[in-house]
């Protein structure tokens, strides 16, 4: 049983450890889970993620309960079918989906996971980021995955619902190093119904449009989606997506390559929230990287399995801990600095190449 020090990587290290355990058929024990946090141990969303993977992978587990600081996980065989998991708080259901998503690389049958909890909450990717940025990026590399949104859940109540569907995939190496020419951008604004009279979603989308088109990069928004949602509590957010022009590495037309998000709060105007997303977009445009800093660390596990090369803006703490983790499973991903950006590259696995 491989033992992983879970003290420095937060919940992501636990989720990735269980996914890698399943992909490589390696029993694992994660100790001192979230040990460097002020509230260490498993929270509701970590329990939900571990239970979801365990059910799908037919794993034997120990320590999967609230407050636990150690988890043992011995995977079995991945089985398709319908699964459900409830976080019962505003904990992020998108992070539960993040944990299960790598199983698309090995499943022989469709997997459908219905989850309830928070869809748009702090310290996690909002639902539209997964739907509009990450999953389209992975689908261009042969990964079969989609999300349907059923109900929004904002902090602090939650109550959101969504379903992740994974299919048998024929994944390809991830090749994304060619400096992108950004062909356009898209804005996805969402707000709870009680904010409709204040036009919060429209103001989010309109401000993003005006700010993007005022930048020196000559990028125009090609799509604006405004949504008001029935929800158990007030909330709002924006996702700004950058699309690359067709080129050698994206021959099938415009490709979503990066996303930038911001969430509303009781003391922040819609214009300030939109400005946060555009500021992150403008910073990324100057890096020459293909993907954004959040997608960078989320791609380490699939890159380790599939192989390839990806240009990222920087090696963040999340990227560094993910690189250390995949190496412990015998799936090294190397990193080199070039032209002010970082290039992650990996050989990938033999069994992935044979799929």
What is the token pair recorded at 174?
A: 């991830």
Q: Is the dihedral of CA 213, 260, 308, 334 positive or negative?
A: positive
160, 153 contact by CB (below 8 A):
yes
Distance CA 298, CA 143 (A): 14
Q: Comparing C-alpha atoms, which of 260, 95, 233, 255 is closest to residue 178?
A: 255
| 46 catalytic per annotation | no
What is the token pair recorded at 168?
A: 């048998």
348 Cβ contact list (under 8 Å, min separation 6): 173, 303, 304, 305, 306, 307, 308
Distance CA 225, CA 228 (A): 10
- H or E element, residue 164: strand 160-166
Q: For residue 139, what are the β-bridge partners?
A: none
Q: Comparing C-alpha atoms, which of 24, 23, 4, 161 is closest to residue 90?
A: 161
Q: What are phi and psi of 177, to 5 degrees?
A: -125, -15
Count of CB atoms within 10 A of residue 150's CB? 14
46 Cβ contact list (under 8 Å, min separation 6): 11, 14, 15, 33, 34
Taking the CA of residue 110 as centre, how many other CA atoms within 13 Å lie in the half-sphere pointing to its CB? 7
Q: Comparing C-alpha atoms, which of 210, 261, 202, 243 is closest to residue 226?
A: 202
Distance CA 293, CA 29 (A): 29
Task: Enumerate the active-site residues.
Answer: 318
């Amino acid at each position: 049983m491989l033992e992983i020090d879970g003290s420095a990587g937060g919940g992501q290290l636990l989720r990735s450890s269980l996914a890698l355990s399943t992909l490589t058929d390696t029993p694992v024990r994660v100790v001192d889970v979230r040990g460097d946090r002020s509230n260490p141990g498993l929270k509701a969303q970590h329990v939900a993620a571990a239970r979801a993977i365990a059910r799908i992978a037919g794993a034997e587990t120990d320590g999967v309960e609230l407050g636990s600081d150690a988890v043992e996980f011995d995977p079995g065989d991945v089985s398709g079918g319908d699964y459900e998991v409830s976080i019962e708080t505003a904990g992020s259901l998108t992070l539960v989906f993040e944990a299960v998503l790598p199983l698309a690389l090995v499943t022989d049958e469709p997997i459908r996971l219905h989850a309830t909890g928070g869809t748009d909450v702090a310290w996690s990717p909002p639902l539209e980021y997964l739907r509009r940025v990450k999953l389209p990026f992975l689908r261009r590399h042969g990964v079969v995955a989609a999300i349907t949104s059923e109900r929004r859940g904002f902090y602090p109540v939650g109550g959101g619902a969504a379903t992740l569907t994974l299919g048998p995939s024929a994944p390809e190496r991830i090749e994304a190093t060619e400096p992108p020419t950004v062909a356009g951008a898209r804005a996805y604004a969402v707000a709870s119904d009680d904010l409709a009279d204040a036009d919060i979603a429209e103001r989010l989308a309109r401000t993003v449009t005006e700010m993007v088109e005022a930048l020196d990069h000559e990028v125009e928004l090609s799509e604006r989606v405004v949504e008001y949602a029935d929800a158990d509590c007030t909330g709002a957010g924006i996702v700004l997506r950058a699309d690359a022009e067709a080129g050698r590495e994206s021959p099938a037309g415009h490709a979503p390559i990066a996303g930038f998000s911001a969430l509303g709060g009781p003391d922040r105007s819609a214009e300030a929230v939109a400005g946060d997303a555009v500021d992150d977009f403008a910073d990324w445009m100057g890096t020459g990287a293909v993907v954004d800093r959040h997608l960078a660390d989320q791609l380490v596990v699939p890159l380790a399995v599939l192989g390839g090369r990806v240009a990222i803006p920087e090696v963040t703490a999340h990227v560094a801990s993910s690189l250390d983790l995949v190496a412990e499973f015998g799936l090294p991903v190397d990193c080199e600095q070039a032209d002010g950006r970082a290039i992650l590259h990996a050989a990938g696995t033999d069994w992935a190449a044979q799929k």
